[in-house]
Structure 1
Amino acid sequence: MNTSEPIAPTVESILAAACEREGGKERLSVEARSFPEAVAEAEKDGRTPVIAEVKPTSPTTKGVREDDPVELAREMVAGGATALSVLTEPEHFGGSPETLRRVREAVDVPVLRKDFLLRGEQLDVVEADLVLLIARFVDDLAGLVSAAKERGFQPLVEVHTAAELGEAIEAGADVVGINNRDLAQLEVDLATFESVASEAPEDVLLVAESGIGSKKDVRRMREAGADALLIGTAIMDGDVRENTREFTTT
């Protein structure tokens, strides 16, 4: 785990909880819905590929949204979402494996498990199509990427710097999320994606994460090379179907 640089206290608390969280009792074998195929289908249909995030709350948002996550997910898909992201971190994001399970049963698009996963056995808690692996916080990134693929998951490896991008590629990542949020200070800068994406190989599918709040931001990220965008707060704040449609309509 690369913690040589300062980390925001909130993130330290999240990581401490993640270290203590147990894994599943049995090794999973998943038949994943293809995220690259879903992205290609969205492009074919003239939609901007968006991963809409079902996020009840987070350390960087105010309040809690208490709507049924399944209904929110269905509305997002109706609005044109290419995939969904579902939080399973309970203490700080109000998520749960059961929520992800219910959502995945209710929709036919790929579903990302968003959590702070540190060890292989933590992959075995719930089936998903993609799993988020944060390069900065994983000791053996190549090992965890391999463990995820062996179970049938598609790893979405999150990075924030060009150095982390290099680690992700070396670890075998095919899908890379570039987080505009610096987890050291929780500050957001869209220029992060532009800088890091310029170093990415052409055959890697790039997802822009965090800070995307308008169609102008969408255009900026797409022009910088984003194949898809992960959008949470800006979709969850209001009518999720209409908000998703706004972001997916070019």
Structure 2
Amino acid sequence: MTARFLEALLAAERPLVMEVKRRDAHGYDLLGGRTPAAIVESYEKAGAPCVSVVTGRWFGGTPALLRDVAALTDLPLLQKDFITRRDQLRTARELGASAVLLTAALLPRSAMRNLITGCLSAGLTPFVEVTEEAELDGLPHTDECVIAVNNKDIKAKETDRGNLDRSLALLPALRASGTRCPVSASAIDGPVAAAELLAAGFAGLLVGTSLLRTESAAGWLDQLDRARARPAVRSV
């Protein structure tokens, strides 16, 4: 059970972690009158390999949202919140998570190592989020972790526009870390940007606001397929 989230993402033809999030960093509603059930159904129909559920209060989330989504789907779920203690890992598992977000910028090195080990012991995939190369130093069990570059500024509560060049600059360091699944997360504003990141060598992407604002997740992915069929513009 430990690698369920990781393996699902690695095996996917379209390796997107599609997100359920009530509002964006500025407080704007992202559901648009839809229920989480309707969003999850649209993701399943679009072939999502995994789903991210934002339970952090900054984005209007609650732990109950994870529990509710887990009751709707068998897809592996990522809990996105500020995980800082081992007891939160047990709760995440009980609520239905297969992976949890661990934010390097908010955790001391010793706590990060302890939580990665705790995740694996609890049957969870560590989804380690970094913003600079130094945060990769000393990470244990990287071959069992998803390691993701957050393209936004966590210290500004992700209210900035984000910078995809951060992902491209850090991709070689992610590869060198030993992870099998380097991911680019946040600020991916459309299918063209997503296609460029996949062409550059990312094994997965986490896309939230862009998908939630589109009229059709399936249509968004059709555009992604067309963009991937064209020659890549950006590379590292």
Give the TM-score range, shorter chain.
0.7 to 0.9
**Residue in structure 2 matched with residue 154 of structure 1 by the alignment:** 125
Counterpart of 1:109, as a letter, is L
Counterpart of 2:149, as a letter, is I
**Residue in structure 1 matched with residue 60 of structure 2 by the alignment:** 94
Paired residues, number? 213
Query: What is the aligned counterpart of 2:163 among 181, 185, 189?
Result: 189
Counterpart of 2:190, as a letter, is S
Deviations 1:202-241 (A, max 9, x none): 6411111011112221122113321011000000013243
Deviations 1:173-217 (A, max 9, x none): 321011111223443110000111111236411111011112221
Give the unaligned 5+ runs of structure 2: 229-236
Q: Distance in 1 between matches of 2:123 and 2:114?
A: 14
**Residue in structure 2 matched with residue 215 of structure 1 by the alignment:** 191
Q: Quick one: structure 1 residues 190 and 116, their matched pair in 2 at CA, closer, same or farther if it must change by over 3 Å?
A: same
Q: Distance in 1 between matches of 2:104 and 2:204?
A: 19
Q: Quick one: structure 1 residues 105 and 63, their matched pair in 2 at CA, closer, same or farther if it must change by over 3 Å?
A: closer
Query: What is the aligned counterpart of 1:114 among 80, 87, 100?
Result: 80
Give the unaligned 5+ runs of structure 1: 1-30
Contact 2:183–2:206, Cα closer than 8 Å, also in 1 = yes
**Residue in structure 1 matched with residue 9 of structure 2 by the alignment:** 39
Residue 116 of structure 2 is aligned to residue 145 of structure 1: yes
Aligned residues: CA RMSD = 2.1
Contact 1:83–1:109, Cα closer than 8 Å, also in 2 = yes
Task: Return structure 1 stretches of 4+ with deviation > 4 angstroms.
Answer: none
Counterpart of 2:136, as a letter, is L
**Residue in structure 2 matched with residue 56 of structure 1 by the alignment:** 22
**Residue in structure 2 matched with residue 133 of structure 1 by the alignment:** 102
The alpha-carbon deviation at position 95 of structure 1 amounts to 1.5
Give the fraction of aligned pairs with identical amino acids, expressed as a percent.
28
**Residue in structure 1 matched with residue 39 of structure 2 by the alignment:** 72
Residue 211 of structure 2 is aligned to residue 242 of structure 1: no
